[in-house]
């Protein structure tokens, strides 16, 4: 059987996948309009990638021997899109059994076989922040991945060196899951109200603080007394202590302005400085307060009214926040939306009149800053990771289509070579249904309005 070269390359890639570090690539992209995001737009410019890093940006660059040249005349190159809120590529989303589940981590349930990764690549997304669901006030820790499609070992998708982050959730979801629990799955407990959410947060931090102090006392005593007894180990409290130490960035599911201010007060009381408000539909009401705190916001461009707490919303949210100096991103929270985040960024521009760079920053450098990876990705600069997307038109145009997506200089998506069946694993027994359009995977990630997320 004649296999196209692409598939041979693909097979090779898969064969080498587990043996070593993920592959990096070299490529010269010629003659493109380069949207650097941080240094403006460069016409007729070449980008040289060597071993996964951006080596040179300029005109008339020549390819070193063996380096492939991509002619991007008439095309646009932008940094790989970063989705600051995703639930693709996961085997589980919510450990919804307790209001505080800081001990679990999405790192343990990354699913590299999930087709959502390839679909995201087809939409120019190269990095996703895989988040725990919003069932708990303090949910699990999140995981930042690169979309290295074809690798099956979860370790190979990890964004090396990305800071730890954790999911918090305020408002209706945690109060519904825990406060209104009944009918055979345990008794209702705090929080049943927004007051309760704050109480759970403060209680958790107090416990974390005490845990941290107990271990510090032990470490000090150990030096004097070799028979000192270590305090009980508690992974949940240890994680909370790490938040208090500033080792974990907080990403908080939130909608209403009052609860956003509440969390700012709580964080201030416990000396926690880094926070990104996720969804944050009413963040525009408290934009100056967010800016003063140094808090970030990661919002939908125009998704609202799917439950009571999200009726007071506006498509000007991202623009108002940006103009008030809040580092803002637009995210997907969905395996569907993340395939056209460039449209989502364009909507914020359409409503709020952001500049091109401001609009593109919503899906590149700003989410990178929120995830603590802006030294590596989020803009086209020499020395940064070669996570790049080539568009056939300006990415903020509704007509634009991503044609190639690179991660670490490796081309993982190419519209020219995009067969129907790109799955890494095929169930050997399940019924083959050729006419099915919608799969479970499409429903894997919605914000959690879907009741099944909380069924247990």
Partner 1 sequence: MIASHCLVTRSNAGRLLAVLVPALLLGVVPVRAQEAGDDLPRVTRTHAITNARIVQAPGRVIERGTVVIHDGLIVAVGTDVEIPFDAERLPGDSLVVYAGFLDGLSHVGIPKPKADQNRERPDDPGNPPDDYAGIQPQQDARTMLEPGDKSVKDLRAAGFGAALTVPHGRMLPGSGALVLLHGDDPDAMVLRGDVALFAQFQGALGVYPATPMGVMAKMRQLYREAERRRLIQQRYDTDPAGLERPPYDDVHYAFFPVIEGKKPVLFYTDEALETYRALRLQRDLGFPLMLAGLKQSFDQIDALKEAGVPLFLTLDLPKEPKKEAKAKQDSVEAEMAAQYDPTLRTATYRDLEAERRNLEARQRESRERYLKNAAMLHEAGLRFGFSTMDVKPADIHKNLRLMIEHGLPEDAALAALTTDAAALLGVSAMLGTVEPGKIANLVVTTKPYFDKDAKIRYVFVDGVKYEYDTKEKKEASGKEHPTEPSSPER
Binding site for partner 1 (CB under 8 A): 1, 3-4, 7, 18-19, 91-92, 94-101, 103-106, 108-109, 111, 113, 140, 152-155, 181, 184-187, 189, 227, 229-230, 232-236, 417-421, 423, 425-429, 431-432, 434-435, 437, 456
Nearer to partner 1, 265 or 415 (CB): 415
Q: How far is the CB of 92 from partner 1 (least distance, A)?
A: 4
Nearer to partner 1, 153 or 355 (CB): 153
In whole angstroms, what is the distance from residue 368 CA to residue 132 CA? Answer: 19
Q: How far is the CB of 106 from partner 1 (least distance, A)?
A: 7
Quote the tokens at residue 269: 């009381």
Nearer to partner 1, 233 or 452 (CB): 233
Burial code (b: 16+ CB inside 10 Å, e: under 16) for 75-112 equals: bbbbbbbbbbbbbbbbeebbbbebbbbbbbbbbebbbb
For residue 246, give the nearest of 287, 204, 275 by alpha carbon. Answer: 275
Q: How far is the CB of 76 from partner 1 (least distance, A)?
A: 24
Nearer to partner 1, 1 or 73 (CB): 1
Q: How far is the CB of 403 from partner 1 (least distance, A)?
A: 15
Nearer to partner 1, 61 or 192 (CB): 192
Q: How far is the CB of 242 from partner 1 (least distance, A)?
A: 14
Nearer to partner 1, 215 or 270 (CB): 215
Q: How far is the CB of 370 from partner 1 (least distance, A)?
A: 23
User: Which residue has 């049943």 as its token pair?
Assistant: 192
DSSP 51-104: TTEEEEEESS--PPTT-EEEE-TT-EEEEPEEEEEE--SBS----TTSSB-TT-
In whole angstroms, what is the distance from residue 435 CA to residue 72 CA? Answer: 36
Radius of gyration of the chain (CA): 23
Nearer to partner 1, 106 or 283 (CB): 106
Provide the edge-to-edge strand list for the sheet that holds 125-130. Answer: 81-86, 125-130, 138-146, 164-169, 248-254, 275-279, 296-299, 328-330
Nearer to partner 1, 188 or 292 (CB): 188
Q: What is the enclosing helix (H) or strand (E) of 384?
A: none
Query: What is the CB neighbour count within 10 angstroms for residue 225?
Result: 10
Q: How far is the CB of 227 from partner 1 (least distance, A)?
A: 6
In whole angstroms, what is the distance from residue 443 CA to residue 452 CA? Answer: 10
Q: How far is the CB of 419 from partner 1 (least distance, A)?
A: 5
In whole angstroms, what is the distance from residue 265 CA to residue 230 CA? Answer: 33
């Amino acid at each position: 059987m004649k296999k196209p070269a692409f598939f041979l390359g693909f097979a090779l890639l898969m064969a080498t996948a587990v043996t070593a570090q993920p592959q990096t690539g070299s490529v010269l992209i010629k003659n493109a309009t380069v949207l650097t995001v941080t240094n403006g737009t460069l016409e007729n410019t070449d980008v040289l990638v060597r071993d996964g890093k951006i080596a040179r940006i300029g005109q008339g660059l020549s390819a070193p021997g063996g380096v492939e040249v991509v002619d991007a005349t008439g095309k646009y190159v932008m940094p790989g899109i970063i989705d600051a809120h995703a639930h693709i590529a996961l085997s589980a989303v919510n450990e919804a059994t307790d209001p505080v589940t800081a001990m679990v981590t999405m790192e343990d349930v990354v699913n590299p076989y999930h087709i959502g990764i390839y679909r995201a690549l087809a939409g120019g997304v190269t990095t996703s922040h895989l988040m725990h669901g919003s069932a708990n006030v303090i949910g699990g820790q999140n995981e930042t991945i690169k979309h290295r499609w074809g690798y099956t070992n979860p370790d190979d998708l990890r964004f090396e060196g990305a800071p730890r982050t954790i999911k918090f959730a305020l408002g209706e979801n945690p109060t519904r899951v825990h406060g209104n629990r009944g009918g055979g799955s345990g008794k209702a407990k705090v929080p049943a109200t927004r007051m309760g959410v704050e109480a759970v947060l403060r209680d958790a931090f107090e416990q974390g603080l005490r845990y941290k102090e107990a271990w510090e006392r032990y470490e000090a005593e150990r030096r004097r007394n070799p028979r000192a007894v270590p305090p009980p180990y508690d992974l949940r409290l240890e994680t909370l202590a790490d938040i208090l130490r500033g080792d974990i960035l907080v990403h908080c599911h939130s909608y209403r302005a009052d609860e956003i201010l509440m969390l700012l007060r709580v964080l201030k009381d416990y000396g926690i400085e880094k926070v990104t408000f996720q969804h944050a539909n009413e963040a525009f009401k408290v934009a100056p307060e967010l800016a003063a705190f140094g808090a970030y916001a990661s919002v939908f461009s125009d998704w609202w009214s799917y439950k009571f707490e999200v009726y007071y919303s506006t498509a000007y949210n991202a623009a108002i926040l940006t103009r008030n100096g809040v580092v803002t991103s637009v995210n997907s929270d969905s395996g569907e939306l993340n395939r056209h985040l460039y449209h989502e960024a364009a909507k914020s521009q359409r409503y709020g009149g952001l500049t091109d760079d401001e609009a593109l920053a919503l899906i590149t450098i700003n989410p990178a800053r929120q995830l603590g990876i802006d030294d590596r990705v989020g803009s086209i600069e020499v020395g940064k990771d070669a996570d790049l997307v080539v568009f056939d038109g300006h990415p903020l145009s509704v007509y634009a289509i991503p044609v190639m997506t690179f991660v670490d200089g490796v081309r993982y998506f190419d519209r020219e070579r995009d067969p129907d069946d790109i799955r890494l694993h095929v169930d050997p027994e399940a019924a083959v249904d050729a006419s099915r359009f919608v799969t479970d995977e499409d429903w894997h990630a919605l914000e959690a309005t879907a009741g099944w997320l909380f069924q247990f």
